[in-house]
Amino acid sequence: MTTAPKVLALKEIEPPSALAEALSSEFLRPLRIENPPPVRLARRPAGATWGGFCSWQDMAEFREVTIHFDAPLGQESWVMVEKLRGTYLHEIAHRFLSKLPVDEIGGSHGPVFFALQLLLFLRAGEREGGRPWAWHADLYDLHDCFGDHPCTPGQALDWAFCQAAELLADTEISAESAAGEIARRFAIWREAMALAPAKRQAAHAARAEREAVLVRKATHVKWWICYSIMLGAMAGLLAGLLAA
Ligand SMILES: [Zn+2]
């Protein structure tokens, strides 16, 4: 049975009531998380725009993720609940991948991360007003694919969406196991993508050779036709002369 995660609050921050609502067992149950990572609340550093972070595995004693909490300042409670949920889902996707070397998963915000976070969003269902959580996925969550990468961002998005939406989200696999499964599939896919240019070059060279052979044959046939016409004409001329 899914239980709500432990809250590791700093002394000066009282866990807001919105946190209990945000990370209720009702919200977490469809996500199929075996062991929901605990939450550490921290005040947002001056100038920081991010909602939280996931520290390195060996720096998180309880596998926790950190969520920045600011005083609500007149925000409606559902807005606070959605912010907390969005941050928690993003950071636990990092946590579930934190044992894997970043270069093996295409970057901290690469195809594997995008696919796993999307799986969590899809399982989370709908946000306030019936908007799907899946719409919360952002190109920021894939930004390590913009640059020197064996695949284009479009290919990465297509692959990640397929893994999450078409293959894994509706299965009973736990979120933690899905992280490993997506990473395993990514290694296979990346290898295929890296080979793709060489395969395309080989196919292109083979096609060019086939076409060259056809051209040579066609040229050969063309000359034989010319010879035949000339011989036919000469034979006709000779026959005409003999008959004259
Ligand atoms: Zn992130």
At 52 the three-state DSSP class reads strand
Specify the residue for token string 């070397």. Answer: 101
d(CA 57, ligand 1 centre) in Å: 14
Question: Cα dihedral sign for 194, 200, 206, 212?
Answer: negative
Distance, CA of 142 to CA of 152 (rounded, Å): 11
Query: Whole-prediction pTM value?
Result: 0.76
Asked whether 184 and 146 are in contact (CB, 8 A), the reply is no
d(CA 186, ligand 1 centre) in Å: 19
In the chain, domain spans: 1-99, 103-206
Average pLDDT per 10 consecutive residues for the chain, totaling 244 residues: 75 77 95 95 83 85 88 76 94 96 94 97 93 94 84 93 93 97 96 79 73 75 70 73 67
d(CA 34, ligand 1 centre) in Å: 21
d(CA 94, ligand 1 centre) in Å: 7
**Residues in a beta bridge with 7:** 39
pLDDT for 83 equals: 92
d(CA 92, ligand 1 centre) in Å: 9
d(CA 98, ligand 1 centre) in Å: 11
pLDDT for 155 equals: 93
